Amino acid sequence: MPAAEISIDRDPVGAGEEFAVAIHTSPVAPARRAERGPAASYAIVLDASQSMSWPAEKSGGTSRWELALNAIGELLRNLPDRDEIQVVAFSDRTWPIADTTTVAELRDSGRLERERAPEYGVTNIEAGLLLAYDRLGRSRATSRRAILFSDGEPNHGATAPQALAAIAAKAADRDIYTDAVGMGKDANFELLQAISALGGNGHVASRDGSEAVIKEIVGRLARQGQNLAAAGGELVVDVHPLFPITGVYRVNPARMRLDAPVTAGTDGAQRVTIPLGAVGTGDDRPMYVLRLRAPNKVIKRHLPIVKATGTVRTGTGTLPLDEANGAIGGIADVPVLNLEKLMDQVKTIDLETEIAHKIRHANPSVHADIYAEAKHRALQEGLGDLAGDYDIALRGLQEGLDPNDVRNEQRSRSSTSRTSPNEMLRARPKLDPTVLGQRHADRRIVQREEGTRSGSARRPYGSETEDW
């Protein structure tokens, strides 16, 4: 039976200080399928507005349309032959370029190579997504994904990010997920990120070398749709009321801060319900992090602080997750950090979100100053990958790249997880034998409880002690 799993980044935690708690699932068995049936079904949603005929690179050798078709070709080379695939296009209307077929058949047909670049048309992303979702809804594959390629803001149909995100969320409720790839300076990263909240995203700037960039993006998206164990699910996390939740984050497969409401759980607990999205096997499982703040007092005893359960939806039905319980050995003046990469993920997301807000509302003339300051702050925090992203943004501005193209590229790079869950949960060496000697011999950072212990009475939240 699969289970929820909890990892706490330090033990003991520091009095009055914040710490990170990772929530994920235990390995889930791969989904069963008929011997000749598809494991995954894809609908490519292709922007056919006039601007897609514009150059994708400074040299002008390749149009955005050609680049998108090349990306689909790369995707076909990365996917299993028997997976389902179809291609729909949209402008002021929608139409199928390729009806549902197998990856092998579409790849061998050469059909996409004969598609001409659009000469006119508006951008109706809503219509393209709805057609793709309708077609994917007829598939019985475990993994069902729409992959959107677009170079601009929608100007027909639903245009607000909230409206398009709601359409994508409704599809996600049926375990149909959306990946989004933006192209060029007129793409809107925030819009595409909202559409792909439970999927992946990428951006291809209008600079030379775009072929290599889009190959990396579609290769990553292809891997996310493979080897799935469950089509979806949710995690339900209860946190002790004396440890306030100050942030909820997704750290794999993409990084972003979540607008997850905190509600009342049992015994006064703080409860967060998190949609899982597709659950891969092995290290491809989604992972979330809660940032908590400890009470500002020293406590020298065992404290249960987090429990998690939930469900996953597999080909054989909905399975409950065994409950997991996370506890700490106490609250100290000086914490002992074990999983340092968890809080680094949180700091990266928070700093990137802050800088993105500044850039979005600032005059392009000061973008270089903002990126330079952000790079300095990232280096001070030890966030080397994020500092590198800001350095690339600075070089893009120096090369004359459009500021919005630079912003889209930087946001896409920074939201892509480059650290696997296994690496995030790799503990640092414990070098202090006095601290180790004070811990219970049977304590682990990750704690899992198969069932309720007999005779273990629990005090409700709000009692005079901090017991759960």
Q: Give the dihedral of Cα atoms 105, 108, 110, 111; nearest 10 deg.
A: -10
Burial 95-113 (b: 16+ CB within 10 A, else e): eebbebebbeebbeeeebe
Does 4-23+229-338 match 40-226 in CATH topology?
no
One-letter amino acid identity for 364? P
Domain residue spans of the chain: 4-23+229-338, 40-226, 342-406
Q: Count the Cβ atoms, other than its own, within 10 Å of residue 62.
A: 15
Q: Which residue has the tokens 């459009």?
A: 402
- Give the CATH H-level superfamily of domain 40-226: von Willebrand factor, type A domain (3.40.50.410)
CATH 1.10.8.50 is held by the domain 4-23+229-338: no
Interacting residues of 219 by C-beta distance below 8 A, sequence separation 6+: 74, 78
pTM for the model stands at 0.87
Distance CA 364, CA 41 (A): 41
Backbone angles phi, psi at 197, to 5 degrees: -55, -30
Q: Tens place of pLDDT for every residue, the chain, 468 residues? A: 788 999 999 999 999 999 999 999 887 766 565 444 678 999 999 999 989 998 888 877 789 999 999 999 999 999 999 999 999 999 988 999 999 999 999 999 988 888 887 877 889 999 999 999 999 999 988 889 999 999 988 998 999 999 999 999 999 999 999 999 999 999 999 999 999 988 889 999 988 889 999 999 999 888 877 777 888 999 999 999 999 999 999 998 899 999 999 999 888 999 999 999 888 776 678 999 999 999 999 999 999 999 999 999 987 789 999 999 999 999 999 999 999 999 999 999 999 999 999 999 999 999 999 999 999 999 999 999 999 999 999 999 999 999 999 999 999 999 998 888 888 988 765 444 444 344 443 433 333 333 433 344 444 443 434 455
Angle, to 10 degrees, between the axis of helix 384-398 and the axis of helix 367-380?
Answer: 160
Backbone angles phi, psi at 329, to 5 degrees: -80, 0
Note the helical H segments in 6-91.
64-78
